[in-house]
Chain A
């Protein structure tokens, strides 16, 4: 664990330039380039805003304009979905490096994650601006977003270590992950409120660690509660996440020597 943090620090220059590369690479050949990274989610948000706010005239949720309430749940989900799918493909997509160049391969999922993170940070500030535009004054609670951001990153890294290394051997995992992401969107209270579900079923929904993150974003932006106010959820989340993180690290370490053989 300590060795890992040290390695990240030692390779920070490599990480930085590979992330920049990854970022550029995705939108290379497009005239608008990196702008697409921001246009696409913005368009999605606009569509939702139009459909729900203008079309269905959705009622404010807990006295908050629906669009703001939606954004606070939607953005962390975008980050999670993007991070997981690009993380899963990070080894396969860079097979030319894995097979031909010697370097720390475990950095590859981190690189995908970092470039998803860069886009997400932009959206966090975009969200802040939206809130201010709607007349809400910034709160100390807003800064809590960065705690949840960190939590998401750890969870994502653990998950991508597992999926990215297993997918090398079983391509089917890639399809499976795509499916999970699709289901996950509807199984997580992003579009709907926890209160719509009878209280006695809440625990089933809360088994999903992403719920903690989505709720967390909303708690920071809308409900102004601190994460230690619901200590049991926090403990549950970190137990699950750290288990995934450790299992991920071990899986990756065990499978890494075989990557070049099968790619």
Chain B
């Protein structure tokens, strides 16, 4: 192994035996003719990976793509079915918050317990405990059983332990989504500190902007395969394609650029993950039959680059004659707060009279100069008459999408300010 390699993974494969019934496992184990009762599931299929010392690598992929399986195997908790993993240096992993924490014991006792599990003696832990307490910043709660902690305190303590034991390789799985803003900032500061000292960080996240901001490199995992490896930006772009399904299309036919062709057989909304809290209602005079978000490259995507142009599309079908309806959308942030929205009436767009069975497509085109994060899109088709608002069709939280990028701002959106500094001394 070369000197500057921290983690080297070769031909890593993990096969799970899936049984239809638990008894099948017993039957297979006892069967004298070695009859097989299982089918194989490839959680990881022939993955090769090299991570150099001092690199910060982000792993992205869909749920169930095999990211956590990969991390667990590198850490050593899971045993690979075949393939090899070599690592250099001490690994500290945060696979799940507070793994190995005993809820009945106090925070301080848990720090020592975790330390022993990682192979430190009590004396070694004595020297680290101050740094851990300082970083976790949970005050006198440290003398309370961990079960009394709020999830934020728990997260802080767990993270603090794994980061303050001075590992050579830090492996983090989705752990940073917990904790308040201030603590996250603190964590990322520690990350940078780590990077400066040439330590290796490997982490899995769904926060794509984190990958762009902090990683030197990105890896995209899909269905147990490593489908891409490259700069963090390129990885995020690839991941977006994987999400929308365009990635494999492109592989099949590199030349054909996917444009937004209205495919009669496939609905736009099928390209998006159906949101659990999707709520649809209305009196049915008009129905929103389809909707989608199109990014600046004309791909259907639930991930939009910051400040890029994107289009919201909705198709409405009328079931009776409707006069001058209003078409609207609103965006809510992850906390459910309405951030922005508009409608055809506010924008003085005149709509006409629509007949029964007529289908129209409405598009809203705008720039995504929103704070990075997740948003929920709601759509509506209404009218205003003497009695108030008459809702023909409304879909709350139709699509969850994310704005990503490396922009930094305070609050909800960017005013795109130009800053100039002029020396104004009197003389």
Residues of A within 8 A of B (CB): 13-14, 17-18, 21, 24-25, 28-29, 96-103, 169-170, 257-258, 260-261
B113 close to A21 (CB less than 8 A):
yes
B95 close to A100 (CB less than 8 A):
yes
Q: Which residues of B contact A13 (CB under 8 A)?
A: 116, 121-122
* Cα(A40)–Cα(B181), bound, Å: 51
Q: Which residues of A contact B96 (CB under 8 A)?
A: 100
Told that A18-B113, A102-B77 touch, could you supply 19 new A-B pairs with CB distance under 8 A?
A13-B116, A13-B122, A14-B117, A17-B113, A18-B116, A21-B102, A24-B105, A25-B105, A96-B99, A97-B117, A99-B77, A100-B77, A100-B96, A100-B99, A102-B75, A102-B76, A103-B117, A169-B29, A260-B78
Whole-angstrom distance between the Cβ of B314 and the nearest chain A Cβ: 45
Q: Which residues of A contact B91 (CB under 8 A)?
A: 102
Q: Which residues of A contact B99 (CB under 8 A)?
A: 96-97, 99-101
Whole-angstrom distance between the Cβ of A183 and the nearest chain B Cβ: 23
**8 residue pairs, one from A and one from B, having the closest CB atoms:** A100-B99, A257-B79, A102-B76, A101-B100, A28-B104, A17-B116, A260-B78, A101-B117
Whole-angstrom distance between the Cβ of B172 and the nearest chain A Cβ: 13
Interface size on B, residues (CB 8 A): 28
* Cα(A170)–Cα(B76), bound, Å: 24
Nearest neighbor of A98 in chain B, beta-carbon distance: B77
SS class, residues of chain A in contact with chain B: helix
Contact with A along B24-59 (1 / 0, CB 8 A): 011001000000000000000000000000000000
Asked if B119 lies at the interface with its beta carbon under 8 angstroms from chain A, I say yes
Q: Which residues of A contact B72 (CB under 8 A)?
A: 260
Whole-angstrom distance between the Cβ of B82 and the nearest chain A Cβ: 12
Q: Which residues of B contact A257 (CB under 8 A)?
A: 79
* Cα(A215)–Cα(B415), bound, Å: 88
* Cα(A261)–Cα(B78), bound, Å: 7
A17 close to B100 (CB less than 8 A):
no
Ordered by A's residue number, 30 sampled pairs between the chains whose C-beta atoms are within 8 Å are: A14-B116, A17-B112, A17-B113, A18-B113, A18-B116, A21-B102, A21-B113, A29-B104, A96-B99, A97-B99, A97-B100, A99-B77, A99-B99, A100-B77, A100-B95, A100-B96, A100-B100, A101-B99, A101-B117, A101-B118, A102-B75, A102-B76, A102-B91, A102-B93, A103-B117, A169-B25, A169-B29, A170-B26, A258-B79, A260-B79
What is the total of A-B residue contacts with beta carbons within 8 Å? Answer: 60
Q: Which residues of B contact A96 (CB under 8 A)?
A: 99-100
Contact with A along B62-84 (1 / 0, CB 8 A): 00000000001001111100000
Q: Which residues of A contact B77 (CB under 8 A)?
A: 98-102, 260
* Cα(A29)–Cα(B117), bound, Å: 23
Asked if B281 lies at the interface with its beta carbon under 8 angstroms from chain A, I say no
B104 close to A25 (CB less than 8 A):
yes
A261 close to B16 (CB less than 8 A):
yes
* Cα(A13)–Cα(B72), bound, Å: 25
Whole-angstrom distance between the Cβ of B15 and the nearest chain A Cβ: 10
Whole-angstrom distance between the Cβ of A112 and the nearest chain B Cβ: 15
Whole-angstrom distance between the Cβ of B311 and the nearest chain A Cβ: 44
* Cα(A261)–Cα(B19), bound, Å: 13
Q: Which residues of A contact B104 (CB under 8 A)?
A: 25, 28-29
Q: Which residues of B contact A260 (CB under 8 A)?
A: 72, 77-79
Whole-angstrom distance between the Cβ of B163 and the nearest chain A Cβ: 16
* Cα(A96)–Cα(B75), bound, Å: 15
Known A25-B102, A100-B77, A100-B95; contact A17-B26, beta-carbon cutoff 8 A: no
Contact with A along B309-325 (1 / 0, CB 8 A): 00000000000000000
